[in-house]
Amino acid sequence: MSRKYFWLTTILLVLALTLVACGGTAPTTEAPAEEEAAPVEEAPAEGEATEEEAAPAADGANQLEFFSWWTAGGEADGLNAMYEVFKKEYPDIEIVNATVSGGAGSNAKAVLATRMQSGDPPDSFQVHAGHELIDTWVVADKMEPVTFLFEENGWLDVYPQGVIDILSYNGEIWSVPVNIHRSNVMWYNPAVFEANGLTAPTTFEEFFAAADTLKAAGVTPLALGDNGIWASTHLMETVLLGALGADGYRGLWTGETDWNSPEVTNALDTFAKMLDYVNEDHAALSWDQAAQLVVDGDAAMTIMGDWADGYFFSLGLTPGEDYGFAPTPNTDGTFMMLSDTFSLPKGAPHRDNAIKWLTLAGSREGQDAFNPVKGSISPRSDSDRSLYNAYLQSAMDAFASNEITPSLAHGAAASEGWVTAFNDIMTLFVTNRDVAATQAAMAQACVDAGICGQ
C-alpha cells in the first residue's frame, strides 16, 4: 500500500482506540512464580550509559539482552521492576541490560540502527508503536511477527483492538505493547501556584496570564530541557493540538490539514511566545532536569509526557499534593497517545529467552509491576487499578473517555524520517523564531514524507 494510505489508516486506527478503551473482559489469572528473585543489573542513571554498554551478549551464554533508552528516574526503576519479576521466574537467565541514555531514544536509535544493519541485533528492544515500529523495522524485514504470543496467551481478549491494530501490518502483529503514555500533560508545583494565587491554566490565554504573574514574582514560568532535540518537538506537538483541535492535528499527518494554514501560523506564534517564559539554560538540561526545577520550586510548570509521573514517584512525591497535573492548554478532552512496545528481531541470539521475556512483558503481572513505577498505564483491560496512583488512575479514565490522537515526537503519528526532519526544524526555530521560514519547512517536510502534494 502507499505510504499516504498507510499513514491515513494508522490515524484511523488510533481513532478506534476511543471506541474500544472503555471495553473490558474477564480478567485472566496468571500464576506468579515462587522462586526468590536473583540480583539484577540496575539500569544506569541518566547520562551514564554508553555505546559500549550496549554490546551484544556473549555467544552461547544463557542470557537475555534487552536494549532500551530507559535510564532516568522512574524509567529505570520500572524496567528494573520488570527485571525482578523475570528473574524470579527465570533465575538462571542472565539479563544484559543494554541501555543508551537519551530521552525519546534520540541516541539509542542510532546505536540500534547500526547494530541491526550489521546483523548484530539484541534479543529484544524497545520501540514505539505505530510508524516507528512498522516503517523502520517491519517494512525493512528486520522483525519476526509475535501474533503467536497473542494467540497462545489470550491477549487478543484483553488488549484493545485499536492497540492491536497499530501494532499490525500485513495480517501479523509485530510487537508486544507494555504501556500507554499520555504526552499532553502539564505538571506544576502546587505550592508555587498557591503562593501566587494561581490555578492550573486550561487555555493559552490563561497560560500566558499565569506566566506573566510568575515571571513578575521571579519564578521561571515554564521549565524546558531540550538538550535532546525531541523535547522541543514534544512541546510543539501539544501546541499544535491545542491550536488545531484533534481533527485538525490528525489531519497534519494524513495531508488533510494544510501546513500553510493560519492555524499552523498561530501555533508557531504561540510556541514562540512560550519560549519567552522558559529557563535560559534549557538547551543544557534534560527533560528530567527540567522537571526537577518544578520540584524545587525554581520553575512553576513543565510540559512533558507522563513518564514525568514516574520521575516524581522515584523521588517519593505524591500526586495532587507535591505536584499537580492537568492537560496542556486547549487540549482538555484529548489524549495524545504513544505506546512503548518490546520486539522480537530476526536473528535474536537467544530467541527462546526473548520469547520468555516478551511473554512476561505482555502479562498482567509484568505490566502491573512495570507501569505504576514507570509512570504509565497498562493497555490491558484487566490491570489492577488499585496499584496505580491518583494521576495514573486519572490517565486511565481519560484514555477511556477522551478523543485519542497520536504523538509525533514519539513515533505514533509519522515516519521516523519525518520525525527527524521535524526535530531539526524545531531545533532551528527555538534559536531563530522565524515563523514564516519554519512553516514553509514544515510544509516541505510533509511533501518529502510523501503525504502532501500528491
Does pLDDT of 25 surpass 80? no
Integer Cα distance of 363 and 28 in angstroms: 9
Mean pLDDT of the chain: 89
| Residue 20 covered by a domain | no
In a domain, 236, yes or no: yes
Of 400, 417, 434, which one is at a domain's C-terminal end? 400
Examine the domain organization and report whether 193 and 320 are in the same domain. yes
232 occurs within a structural domain: yes
Q: Is the pLDDT of residue 55 over 50?
A: no
The pLDDT tens digits for 239-257 are 999 999 999 999 999 999 9
- Predicted confidence at residue 59, as pLDDT, reads 54
For residues 305 and 190, membership in a common domain is answered with: yes
- Considering the domain architecture, whether residues 162 and 247 belong to the same structural domain is answered as no
Tell whether 274 and 419 lie within a shared domain.
Answer: yes
Would you say residue 25 lies in a domain? no
pLDDT of residue 191: 99
Question: Which of the pair, 52 or 167, is modelled with greater confidence?
Answer: 167
Do 177 and 262 lie in one domain? The reply is no
Domain holding 122: CATH number?
3.40.190.10
Q: How many domains does the chain have?
A: 2
Please check whether residue 83 lies inside any domain of the structure: yes
Same domain? 306 vs 330: yes
- At residue 282 the predicted structure's pLDDT band, cuts being 50, 70 and 90, is very high
Residue 53: in which H helix or E strand, if any?
none
| 422 and 302 fall within a common domain | yes
- Let me know if residue 258 belongs to a domain: yes
Is residue 413 domain-shared with residue 390, that is, in the same domain?
Answer: no
Span 181-188, average pLDDT = 99
Distances (CA, A) of 41 to 64, 330, 344: 12, 42, 22
Q: Which domain holds residue 321?
A: 185-336+405-448
Residues 230 and 98 in one domain: no
- Residue 265 falls inside a structural domain: yes
Question: Domain boundary residue among 384, 400, 416?
Answer: 400
Indicate if 316 and 442 belong to the same structural domain: yes
Q: Is residue 102 part of a domain?
A: yes
In this prediction the pTM is 0.86
pLDDT on residue 189: 99
∠ CA 285-291-293, rounded to 5°: 80
Candidates 88, 188, 198, 149; CA nearest to 344 is 149
The set of cell numbers assigned to 163 is 492497540
363, 302: one domain: no
Note the pLDDT tens digit of each residue in 346-393.
999 999 999 999 999 999 999 999 999 999 999 999 999 999 999 999
- Return the closest-CA partner of residue 413 out of 112, 106, 177, 129: 129
How large is the average pLDDT for residues 412-438? 97
Are both 394 and 440 inside the same structural domain? no
